[in-house]
Structure 1
Amino acid sequence: MNILDTSNTNNYKYTTKHLELHILGGIRTNKLESLRVTISIQKPKQHNVLRQSIDLYNDNQVEKLVRKSAERLEIGTSIVRKVLQELTHELQNYRFLLLDKQAEAYKPYTKELTAKEIAESEEFLRQGNLLERTNKYISESGVIGEDVNRLLMYLIFTSRKTNNPLHCISLGSSGTGKTHLQSSIAALMPEEDIIEVTTLSANALYYFAKTELSHRIIMIEDLDGVQKVLYTIREFASKKWIKKRVVHKDKNGESKTIPLEVQGPVCFAGATTQETIYEDNANRSFLLYIDESQKQDKRIMDYQRLVIAGKVDESLQHTAKSLLQNIQRVLKPIKVINPYAEYLELPQSVFKPRRTNAHYLRFISAITFYKQYQREHKVNKETGEEYIETEIEDIKEANELIIEVLLRKSDTLTGACRNHLENLKTYLKEENTTTFTSSEIRRKLRLKESTLRNYTKQLLLEGYIRYVKAEKGKMYHYEIVDIDEYTNLKAQINKALQDCIDRIKGKE
């Protein structure tokens, strides 16, 4: 039996008793309605070679090649025809084999958990202090500092398995570890649920399979790389689906419009240094401001030294990471009902309260969802749908984690400017003074002149600082209008959230 030799991907060889054939350049796998190849035909051990590009599914072309080969090589047409038919059959089967291999290569990876891994994960989820223990394991996996942000992001990523996933944007100066934090938390999710991108073309999202993105996390390293698709991302996040009609030519060459539809829901995560540019996307997301303090700098640099010194237990990190991934795999889709939702109100200071209120309620539901192994599973008698209920404990934990997010949502300053103002307050308290000059702050806080000028301009416009008269010939002096304004705002938000808890307890 003659066998097709495909060991050389650019030169397949098919040899019979009478002929030797080579397929130059291999075969294409994207058009199954044809079998276009470049073929060379010769008698074994002879140098009279016929080369021809041909569609082996086109009978007219094949017959012409049969006659031409028979004449050129001085061989019977029946022999050539039979060999070409055998070759076509072999190439066809090999192409199907290639397609199967491609499908297997692009098939999403799904890890099958062992009985031991399932039992270990479910036991972890059943034990008390779940969020505290989860945060401990996140730390053990190698995430340094960012105690609140890392747990927030972990729960936001967990919400991808619900019908109303949350989204987040990490904000901070260049080089502060925005993308690193995002990637580190994503590494604690099952790899089959993560899609990482550095850039997207304008129509890229529309060409995924219809359900390929459902309940997945789309990780964007920098929002600057996806500016052309920001509107699509916003609509996908809000509507949980995107649709588009494009022009397509049918087999007769006629142009027709066909629909492209991709279903969600999807969890989006991105990082940027430019808060105001992406305001529309930020309104749909949790804004996580990276810790840029000197204490966090020291934590990270100390950890980097330990890594280089070989004093970090990598096996412990791997164990923690594997457990958290497996925990995600055993979480099952289930509806969450919050019987206390009607008593929950946001502080009046929060901007865009409608959208923020939805984020707040969905974050509470995400915590309840994560605790599904600790909740009684109930069934709706009318619909037969299974569900679990939120408890007061979930609301308390959500309030503790979300306070900083609500605080930022209530602030008229950008995150970077707010960080500057708080650093400025700390400096003035340490120096036991109330006034300052630009040159003094630029020198003490190590800021660029242009950066400080922008901060000062925003603080003056918003009324957080004011000019103070200085002696003639001396530089402008400034003072902070209300040094306790941020502390008071935080206390106000805390009180509003606690009032909600008190109302719930009063109704029970």
Structure 2
Amino acid sequence: MMGAHSIRGRALKDNNLVGRIIEDFAKTGLVGEPSNALMGYLACVSRKLNIPLAIIVQSTSAAGKSALMDAVLKLVPEEDRVHYSAMTGQSLFYLGETNLKHKILGIAEEEGVRQAAYALKLLQSQGELTIASTGKDPQSGKLVTEEYRVEGPVMLFLTTTAIDIDEELLNRCVVLSINESREQTAAIQQRQRQARTLSGLLARNESEHIIQQHQNAQRLLRPLAVVNPYAEQLAFADSRTRTRRDHEKYLTLIDSITLLYQYQRDIKTIDRDGQVIEYVEATLDDIA
């Protein structure tokens, strides 16, 4: 067990960790989309923060949005993700008290995102959902009101072909667009052909090893607090009110990068009223 632990730790100590993640996406079958894949990976890491990022992948049908989502989610430990093809507007409220806390909720179907948009919006803004539901007591037969609560924070990962997704939900998410160029289509077809060859068979075997390695590495990431000593020196567009939320996403992205590199940083502590808080500091490289 100690040997396996050290192997996973070495992966997180790689100086070229971000570059390695991008390379591993290609090795596990994703064609192109390096920036989108990395953004998705970092957003998934943010599930361990108090206010995670949220992702919406928008594209036309069959362009590859689900392939991108699947490529990112399979590198996350199974116990940290909940993935649905669709979801009704009410079903989110009944998922249980802690089933989603610091986990990823993936919804991979346009109508599911539409119907659940209101609940998703609340979950992202407030970090929890509550609903009062009336039902009949099986013993007395009287109507009783029960409260159902879903505890966050939750990292949302959604895909859709819709252009007119709820604006309030969009504002809370980082929106990724799929490469729909002819060159990308040709590259995907080439990869599909290559998968039928002997080298493709061997690549699938390597892919399973890489996926397992990433899942195990992510299990080692601790939900530390992040301090950005350069935060007050940063600047951001302020011409529109929506940049208030965009600015928060920008800062959270930096936090996610710092959290990912925690095995290459000193873990610092501060005593606050008898409570010891552990934190890691962002660097200029994280911001870059």
Q: TM-score, normalised by structure 2?
A: 0.94
Match of 2:150 in 1: 262
Q: Say whether 1:124 aligns with 2:5.
A: no
Match of 1:304 in 2: 192
Distance 1:198 1:345 in 2: 39
Secondary structure of 1:242's partner? Answer: strand
Match of 1:280 in 2: 168
Secondary structure of 1:380's partner? Answer: strand
Please tell me whether the aligned partners of residues 117 and 326 of structure 1 are also in contact (alpha carbons under 8 angstroms).
no
What is the letter of the counterpart of residue 125 of structure 1? L
Match of 2:131 in 1: 244
Distance 2:115 2:237 in 1: 35
Map 1:459-470; keep pairs closer than 5 Å.
Answer: none
Match of 2:111 among 192, 214, 224: 224
Q: CA deviation at 1:115?
A: 2.5
Q: CA deviation at 1:274?
A: 1.8
Q: Say whether 1:209 aligns with 2:96.
A: yes
Q: Say whether 1:200 aligns with 2:87.
A: yes
Match of 1:188 among 69, 75, 82: 75
Q: Which runs of 5+ in 2 are unaligned?
A: none
Distance 1:309 1:350 in 2: 52
Please tell me whether the aligned partners of residues 159 and 165 of structure 1 are also in contact (alpha carbons under 8 angstroms).
yes
Q: CA deviation at 1:351?
A: 6.3
Distance 2:118 2:175 in 1: 18
Map 1:29-40; keep pairs closer than 5 Å.
Answer: none
Distance 1:228 1:295 in 2: 35
Q: CA deviation at 1:276?
A: 2.6
Q: CA deviation at 1:277?
A: 3.0
TM-align CA RMSD: 1.5
Q: Deviations over 1:243-294 (max 9, x none)?
A: 0111133322222212111101111111112233332211111111111122
Please tell me whether the aligned partners of residues 60 and 161 of structure 2 are also in contact (alpha carbons under 8 angstroms).
yes
Distance 1:348 1:162 in 2: 25
Map 1:292-331; keep pairs closer than 5 Å.
Answer: 292-312=180-200, 313-331=203-221
Match of 2:179 in 1: 291
Please tell me whether the aligned partners of residues 170 and 288 of structure 1 are also in contact (alpha carbons under 8 angstroms).
yes
Q: Which runs of 5+ in 1 are unaligned?
A: 1-113, 397-508
What is the letter of the counterpart of residue 262 of structure 2? Q
Distance 2:60 2:96 in 1: 36
Secondary structure of 2:122's partner? Answer: helix
Distance 1:306 1:142 in 2: 11
Distance 1:267 1:300 in 2: 29
Q: Say whether 1:332 aligns with 2:222.
A: yes
Secondary structure of 2:159's partner? Answer: strand
Q: Deviations over 1:281-338 (max 9, x none)?
A: 1111111111112221121111000012333121211121111111111111111111
Distance 2:154 2:78 in 1: 15
Q: Deviations over 1:479-498 (max 9, x none)?
A: xxxxxxxxxxxxxxxxxxxx
Match of 1:385 in 2: 277
Please tell me whether the aligned partners of residues 114 and 165 of structure 2 are also in contact (alpha carbons under 8 angstroms).
no
Q: Deviations over 1:32-61 (max 9, x none)?
A: xxxxxxxxxxxxxxxxxxxxxxxxxxxxxx
Distance 1:314 1:144 in 2: 14
Q: CA deviation at 1:350?
A: 6.3
What is the letter of the counterpart of residue 323 of structure 1? Q
Secondary structure of 1:269's partner? Answer: strand
Distance 1:271 1:204 in 2: 18
Match of 1:48 in 2: none
Q: CA deviation at 1:348?
A: 4.2
Match of 1:361 in 2: 251
Match of 1:158 among 33, 45, 53: 45
Please tell me whether the aligned partners of residues 138 and 320 of structure 1 are also in contact (alpha carbons under 8 angstroms).
no
Runs of 4 or more consecutive aligned structure 1 residues displaced over 4 Å after TM superposition: 348-351
Secondary structure of 1:127's partner? Answer: coil
Distance 1:349 1:295, change over 3 A: farther
Distance 2:268 2:60 in 1: 47
Distance 1:117 1:293 in 2: 42
Distance 1:375 1:169 in 2: 31
Please tell me whether the aligned partners of residues 128 and 149 of structure 2 are also in contact (alpha carbons under 8 angstroms).
yes
Distance 1:322 1:349 in 2: 44
Residue correspondences, number: 283
Distance 1:173 1:385, change over 3 A: same
What is the letter of the counterpart of residue 163 of structure 2? E
Please tell me whether the aligned partners of residues 138 and 321 of structure 1 are also in contact (alpha carbons under 8 angstroms).
no
Please tell me whether the aligned partners of residues 88 and 112 of structure 2 are also in contact (alpha carbons under 8 angstroms).
no
Distance 2:27 2:162 in 1: 31
Please tell me whether the aligned partners of residues 241 and 265 of structure 1 are also in contact (alpha carbons under 8 angstroms).
yes
Map 1:55-94; keep pairs closer than 5 Å.
Answer: none
Please tell me whether the aligned partners of residues 168 and 270 of structure 1 are also in contact (alpha carbons under 8 angstroms).
yes
Please tell me whether the aligned partners of residues 30 and 67 of structure 2 are also in contact (alpha carbons under 8 angstroms).
no
Q: CA deviation at 1:147?
A: 1.0
Q: TM-score, normalised by structure 1?
A: 0.54
Q: CA deviation at 1:127?
A: 2.4
